[in-house]
């Protein structure tokens, strides 16, 4: 059915939408105005909700499977939120007004809505009817007079079904050390070394990787096959000065012959698309701020962002070895050759922290602080460690993914130096997006950190490219068994330029309720996060 929906044009989707739930169609079509439509729709949804909560309801609702009932309640809650006048005022958009015009046959309005808008409401209305199709097809032997053992075996078979479904999905995805990828990646690594005039030992030197970061489309085009759309995006990025950077290590994880299913998530993270570039150019032309989280209004002193009572962000450096297209701070992240670490500014920020006893925790991020050398990091960590009220220092870095060679003995020595159990904790916050990024090099880096007694936490951004069924569950499993605790699953920010990455909020909630909950508790320790400005 999903394929059929995807193949429909907008008129076909609209017809399917109203056919799915004629009652809601009639309410919207026959209402005299928007206030009446809202009132009638709320009345109908409230009555429907009572049926789903009432175990003595009539046969139509009593016989709906419990999973469908629970899903229907959630769908009703979502639709109520969508049509609330308060939300319309906050967002400046009225989905109810649009739906009412469509119900009344306003064809002009149809041209202004996307197929995704219609498809999302189609599935929402199916859910409200208790017709989402989520009930599992599990067949078990029926005993006339079941014993407790019969019931236990029946339940066990049902649980086996859930587990097998997960395993079947897991088999579709790759982990970075998958034998199916090993030889291909080894050969590509050798070619990258040859291209930059390196030798085998250079691959283990993080400075070599930093020196040979790829930041132009000509070099990239000589190393890998780029699609037409990828070339167009890179052309626009170069034309308008939109930085992009890829480390040799991360590039070696790609399929050099062209985009494949396993590396689409890798390419999408770092190759600016046409849409991304055009939206950035448009924002610049209109003089719009791309500081979506309004960090400038939460910065009491340069180099600090403070949004919470006891923790703040310290930003000593505003570049990374690799720039993520969907980065929250894409408005301030610069190319690695365009910025320096201003230690004077950083120590002024540390002085501010020292003067504020309410701050007990600092996240060092930016930019990626591990772009800096160990001596500079030692200065920054040492400055924070001298403050008595600092109880935890978090180091935010993606180098475990982009250049795991950076986790050298010098850095782990700093972890050992500043971790003071019972007085001051030191943790590493990282960002694996997908299991295909997790290589043996990453595993070795994790092992070195863990041997110092330092915990590692992962923050994933839940995007279109990581949102397939059980894809994030597979990431959790890979990370947890490797010594990394899933911590946050971020919904993508509502930035216009990153629209290619967004998925509906309902999908991240669905992932938590239908997929993640089937994992053992220690695997699903992350929390979904929906950031909004201020």
- Give the pairing of strands 304-305 and 311-317: antiparallel
pLDDT reported for residue 467: 94
Q: What is the CATH number of domain 295-518?
A: 3.20.20.70
42 vs 79: CA distance, rounded Å: 9
Q: Which of 272, 274, 276, 364 is nearest to 322 (CA)?
A: 272
Residues of the chain with pLDDT under 50: 1-3, 138-140, 534
pLDDT reported for residue 534: 47
pLDDT reported for residue 133: 79
Cα 191 to chain centroid distance, Å, stands at 32
Structural tokens at position 474: 């597979």
- For residues 311 and 361, the answer to whether their CB atoms sit within 8 Å is yes
Q: What is the dihedral of CA 422, 426, 431, 436, to 10 degrees?
A: -80
pLDDT reported for residue 135: 61
- For residues 508 and 462, the answer to whether their CB atoms sit within 8 Å is yes
299 vs 305: CA distance, rounded Å: 5
DSSP 3-state of 380: helix
36 vs 233: CA distance, rounded Å: 47
pLDDT reported for residue 247: 97
The continuous run of DSSP H or E covering 491 comes out as strand 484-491
Cα 166 to chain centroid distance, Å, stands at 20
H helices within 395-528, ranges in order?
Answer: 399-402, 409-418, 440-450, 471-481, 505-510
pLDDT reported for residue 54: 81
Look at the block and give the residue holding tokens 């950083």. 346
Total length of the chain: 534
The continuous run of DSSP H or E covering 527 comes out as strand 527-529
pLDDT reported for residue 139: 47
What confidence tens digit (pLDDT) does each residue in 66-123 have? 888 888 998 999 899 999 999 888 878 899 999 999 999 887 788 888 888 898 899 8
Look at the block and give the residue holding tokens 């909950």. 517
Strands (E), 303-367: 304-305, 311-317, 361-366
425 vs 361: CA distance, rounded Å: 9
Output the pTM of the full model.
0.85
Neighbours of 63 (CB within 10 A): 9
pLDDT reported for residue 313: 95
Q: Which of 133, 31, 111, 120 is nearest to 82 (CA)?
A: 120
pLDDT reported for residue 1: 44
95 vs 24: CA distance, rounded Å: 14
527 vs 529: CA distance, rounded Å: 6
Strands (E), 281-439: 304-305, 311-317, 361-366, 392-396, 425-430
Q: Which of 473, 438, 521 is nearest to 166 (CA)?
A: 473
Where in the chain do CATH 3.20.20.70 domains reside?
A: 295-518
């Amino acid at each position: 059915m999903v394929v059929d929906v995807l193949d429909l044009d907008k008129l076909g989707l609209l017809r399917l939408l109203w056919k799915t739930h004629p009652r809601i169609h009639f309410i919207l079509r026959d209402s005299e105005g928007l206030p009446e439509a809202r009132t009638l729709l709320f009345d109908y949804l409230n009555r429907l909700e009572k049926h789903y909560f009432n175990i003595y309801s009539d046969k139509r609702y009593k016989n709906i499977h419990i999973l469908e009932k629970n899903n229907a309640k959630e769908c009703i809650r979502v639709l109520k939120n969508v049509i609330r006048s308060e939300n319309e005022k906050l967002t400046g958009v009225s989905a109810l007004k649009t739906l009412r015009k469509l119900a009344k046959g306003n064809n002009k309005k149809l041209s202004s809505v996307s197929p995704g808008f219609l498809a999302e409401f189609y599935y929402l209305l199916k859910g409200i009817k208790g017709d989402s199709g989520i009930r599992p097809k599990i067949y078990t032997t029926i005993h006339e007079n079941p014993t407790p053992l019969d019931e236990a075996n029946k339940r066990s078979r049902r649980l086996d079904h859930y587990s097998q479904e997960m395993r079947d999905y897991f088999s579709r995805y790759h982990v970075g050390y998958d034998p199916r990828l090993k030889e291909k990646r080894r050969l590509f690594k050798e070619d990258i070394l040859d291209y930059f005039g390196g030798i085998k030992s250079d691959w283990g030197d993080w400075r070599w990787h930093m020196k040979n970061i790829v930041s132009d489309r000509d070099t990239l085009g000589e190393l890998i096959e780029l699609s037409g759309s990828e070339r167009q995006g890179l052309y626009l990025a170069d034309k308008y000065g939109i930085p992009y950077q890829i480390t040799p290590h991360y590039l070696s994880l790609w399929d050099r012959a062209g985009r494949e299913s396993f590396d689409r998530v890798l390419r999408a993270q770092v190759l600016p698309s046409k849409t991304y570039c055009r939206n950035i150019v448009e924002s610049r032309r209109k003089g719009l701020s791309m500081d979506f989280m309004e960090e400038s209004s939460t910065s009491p002193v340069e180099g600090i962002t403070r949004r919470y009572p006891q923790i703040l962000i310290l930003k000593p450096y505003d570049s990374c070895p690799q720039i993520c297209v969907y980065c929250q701070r894409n408005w301030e992240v610069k190319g690695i050759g365009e910025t320096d670490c201003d230690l004077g500014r950083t120590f002024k920020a540390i002085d501010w922290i020292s003067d504020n006893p309410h701050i007990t925790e600092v996240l060092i991020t930016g930019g990626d602080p591990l772009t800096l050398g160990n001596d500079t990091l030692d200065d920054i960590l040492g400055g924070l460690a001298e403050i008595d009220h600092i109880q935890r220092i978090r180091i935010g870095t993606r180098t475990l993914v982009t250049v795991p060679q950076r986790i050298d003995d010098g850095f782990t020595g700093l972890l050992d130096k500043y971790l003071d159990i019972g007085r001051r904790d030191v943790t590493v916050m990282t960002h694996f997006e997908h299991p295909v990024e997790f290589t043996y090099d990453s595993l070795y880096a994790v092992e070195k950190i863990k041997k110092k007694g330092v915990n590692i936490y992962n923050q994933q951004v839940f995007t279109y490219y990581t949102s397939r069924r059980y894809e994030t569950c597979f990431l959790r499993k890979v990370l947890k068994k490797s010594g990394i605790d899933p911590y946050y699953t971020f919904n993508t920010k509502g930035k216009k330029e990153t629209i290619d990455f967004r998925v509906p909020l309902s999908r991240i909630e669905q992932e938590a309720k239908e997929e993640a909950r089937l994992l053992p508790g220690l695997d699903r320790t992350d929390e979904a996060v929906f950031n909004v400005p201020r």
